[in-house]
Amino acid sequence: MTTIESYLQGLFTYTFTEANINSVFLKRGIEVGVDEADVSVQSKELSQADLLVILSSAFSKGNESVQKGNWKRTTGGYNIGVTDRREYLRQANAIYAKYGEAVVGYTGMKDGTFLWTS
């Protein structure tokens, strides 16, 4: 059995928080811990679109290191650029359109020049 949480998280390399996943489930009427086989394709795809929208607003993150004595652990960071964000919204909107849901508009984001891009 694969839970719906594991299924959806497996579609992304980004790790969503439990709150992210739970808010999508609440919106879509999906029970936490249910077998992914018991969730309709439509609900899975719309949940995936919702997670893409969340990802489009995620903050980039630098590397993090923790050291205790001789032991050191470093986790990799990630950078989500403007082009990435647009692509996530494009993918989400394609899914929303497929099922007749309202698409999410792109409101622009600030880049290093402090100008709004569209």
For every residue of 16-80, DSSP letters joined together read --HHHHHHHHHHHTPPTT-BGGGS-HHHHHHHHHHHHHHHHTPPPB--EEEEETTEEEEE--B--
3-class DSSP state of 15: coil
Interval 67-87 mean pLDDT: 74
Q: State the chain's mean pLDDT as an integer.
A: 83
Amino acid 18: pLDDT? 93
Q: Tell me, what's the pLDDT at 106?
A: 59
pLDDT in tens, 16-63: 999 999 999 999 999 999 999 999 999 999 999 999 999 888 765 555
Is residue 16 a contact partner of residue 24, using CB atoms and an 8 Å limit?
no
